[in-house]
Amino acid sequence: MSKKNFINATHIEGYIYEHKLEEKVTGETSKNPGTPFISGTLSIATDDDLLNVVQVHFTYVTAVTAKGKPNNTYNTLKAIIDGKIQNVMEHGQENAGMVRIDSAIGLNEWYDTRNNNELVSVRRNEGGFIHQVNELNENPDQRATFDVDILITKATRFEPDDEKGTPERMVLRGAIFDFRKSLLPVELTVKHPGAMNYFESMEVSPSHPLFTELKGVQVSRTIINRKEEVGAWGEASVVETRSSERDFIVNWAKPAPYEWDDESTLTANELQEMLSTRELYLADIKKRQDEYYATKGNALAGGAAPVPASGSSKTYDF
């Protein structure tokens, strides 16, 4: 690979809000049978008012690292499970532990059997290192951030929607990369007018992608909108609506983008290999999901597994 390491980093710090962590043991057919591990989600309230709650997912955390050393992340997660490090929902904010987690953006993917086996890809913070801390960054906007290298193939601008209470925004569609250099299709949001103008000026398209580094903040909160309605005889009634906002909002871009299709960064041929590898990965997800439902006596109907891409293409639609 031309570029040694693609940037894909997230930083979350705040109060432990709640957890859905479990202690498990690997089965007989696993690579290391009988190995204790922890998996599940940890929710972190990143602001003092406990309104922005960001989740981090841990798939497989063992007590010992690959180098045979004690795993601090495992010990911290175990302390959370055991209640030695407390959380907001069970023990109140004043007793909740505070942590710092350095993670990365990953995808939780499956085929939706209720919607013609359509592929569902949900962004999430995946794994990383966790540390208990005694204080948090004074700036709440720095407590849930992301930093990624991304190949953008589409930049779509949306008008404001007064009825839904959503401002003008732009959605960037493209691909980021994990530590294995696997391709991960994602969408990021832009709200700053100058930033939207910038991306429009770059004339991004599937045949003219933009390869650059972006930074931003993670938002995961419930928005409450209150609207006053006056009745027939003048009495006012307040109507309250709630909506969820879970987004990755861009607030910075690298001043000079990377050279696309260049040996020093990422070539079209390397990208094509990544796309082929991803198609094989998706085919395996579909196969394992079909097998699972078949064992339940409810095999999935229709929808053949994706066919790996072949040949070279200069148009990319992630």
What tens digit of pLDDT does each residue of 22-37 get? 999 999 988 889 999 9
235: number of Cβ within 10 Å: 8
Q: How many CA atoms lie within 13 A of 300 on its CB side?
A: 22
Q: What is the reported pTM? A: 0.88
Q: Between these two residues, 114 and 86, which has the higher pLDDT value?
A: 86
Mean predicted confidence (pLDDT) in 196-225: 94
The per-residue pLDDT for 165 is 73
Give the separation between CA 210 and CA 205, rounded to whole angstroms.
Answer: 8
pLDDT at 89 over 50: yes
Instruction: Give the pLDDT band of residue 255 (cuts 50, 70, 90).
Output: very high
Report the run of H or E that residue 297 belongs to, with start and end.
Answer: none
Q: Which residues contact 8 (CB under 8 A, 6 or more apart)?
A: 104, 105, 147, 148, 149, 176, 177, 178, 179
Task: Check residue 314 and give its pLDDT.
Answer: 58
Of the two residues 92 and 239, the one the predictor is more confident about is 92
Q: Give the list of residues 6+ apart from residue 124 with CB closer than 8 angstroms, or none.
A: 55, 56, 57, 105, 106, 107, 108
Distances (CA, A) of 212 to 7, 67, 128: 10, 34, 24
Residue 315: pLDDT band (50, 70, 90) is low
Q: Average pLDDT, stretch 201-208? A: 96
pLDDT in tens, 105-124: 999 999 998 888 899 999 99
Mean pLDDT, range 265-274, rounded to an integer: 96
Smallest Cα–Cα separation from 224: which of 51, 30, 99? 51
Q: How far apart are CA 145 and CA 104, in angstroms?
A: 10
Q: What is the mean pLDDT of residues 248-267?
A: 96
pLDDT of 179 over the 80 cut: yes
pLDDT score of 312 more than 50: no
Rounded percentage of the chain residues whose pLDDT exceeds 90: 76
Residue-level pLDDT at 295 = 86
In terms of pLDDT, which residue wins out, 151 or 68? 151
Above 80 in pLDDT, residue 209?
Answer: yes
pLDDT digits (tens, 9 = 90+) for 270-307: 999 999 999 999 999 999 999 988 888 765 444 444 44
Chain mean pLDDT for the chain: 91
Residue 64 confidence (pLDDT): 94
Q: Please tell me the predicted confidence (pLDDT) of residue 309.
A: 41
**Gap between the Cα atoms of 166 and 115, Å rounded:** 27
Q: Are 25 and 35 in contact (CB under 8 A)?
A: yes
Max avg pLDDT among 65-69, 212-216, 239-243, 293-297: 212-216
Q: In the prediction, which pLDDT does 235 show?
A: 83
Q: What b-and-e string marks burial along 299-310, b requiring 16 or more CB atoms within 10 Å of the CB?
A: eeeeeebbeebe
* Range name among 1-5, 84-88, 178-182, 258-262 with the lowest pLDDT average: 1-5
Is the confidence at residue 194, as pLDDT, over 50?
Answer: yes
